[in-house]
Chain A
Amino acid sequence: GENVEQHPSTLSVQEGDSAVIKCTYSDSASNYFPWYKQELGKRPQLIIDIRSNVGEKKDQRIAVTLNKTAKHFSLHITETQPEDSAVYFCAAKGSNYKLTFGKGTLLTVNP
């Protein structure tokens, strides 16, 4: 089955700096790669996703890149703000109904 590795497990940045979270996946058939943000005590919510026919996608301060050959994808957050502090999960979906999640990255943005 699919295996998703996510790094780093914790990330601390100063407000205004950029944050990068990286994930690798094992199933070359995976074709959908979402990123979820989970604030403390709340449900995970989708912030951005990318499909395998696209190399990069941006939404304001958030961008995701995908390298299918290397089987890795990354989340980039620019001009970080304190409200960006949360746990971020990457995930990969292969040729089935399941999303396999990484273990999460706790991002702390210091004012």
Chain B
Amino acid sequence: SQTIHQWPATLVQPVGSPLSLECTVEGTSNPNLYWYRQAAGRGLQLLFYSVGIGQISSEVPQNLSASRPQDRQFILSSKKLLLSDSGFYLCAWSVSGRAVGELFFGEGSRLTVL
């Protein structure tokens, strides 16, 4: 069966420090991968999505970047964190291709920038 893991689960970082959140999917190949951010415990904002290795689409201009170095690995990064980067970050995957289908979310990473 397919599983998705993301880490770390929680982190507290000072303003200006770097960030790296990692997500891996097991049990499937060539998944579509997504990074969402959830601020203030509510709405899900799509940050990045990827339909293949090295293919990253950015949804909003921001202080973050994403990379997909391997088929089932998706990384969210920042060189210098801002206070506004605080939030709950969720990685997700869906079956490859344009067919409609369910999004499967990781456990989430709660980031607090101080």
Contact = CB atoms under 8 A, between A and B. Distances in A.
Contacts of A34: 102-103
Given A87-B41, A101-B44, A93 B100 contact: yes
Contact of B43 (A45, A96, A97, A101): A101
B-side interface mostly? loop
B47 to A, nearest CB: 11
26 contacts: A31-B100, A32-B101, A36-B103, A42-B108, A43-B105, A43-B106, A43-B107, A43-B108, A44-B44, A44-B90, A44-B103, A45-B105, A46-B103, A49-B102, A87-B42, A97-B32, A97-B94, A98-B46, A98-B49, A99-B46, A99-B103, A100-B46, A101-B43, A101-B44, A101-B46, A103-B43
Closest 8 CB pairs of A and B: A32-B100, A43-B105, A103-B43, A101-B44, A104-B42, A46-B102, A97-B32, A44-B105
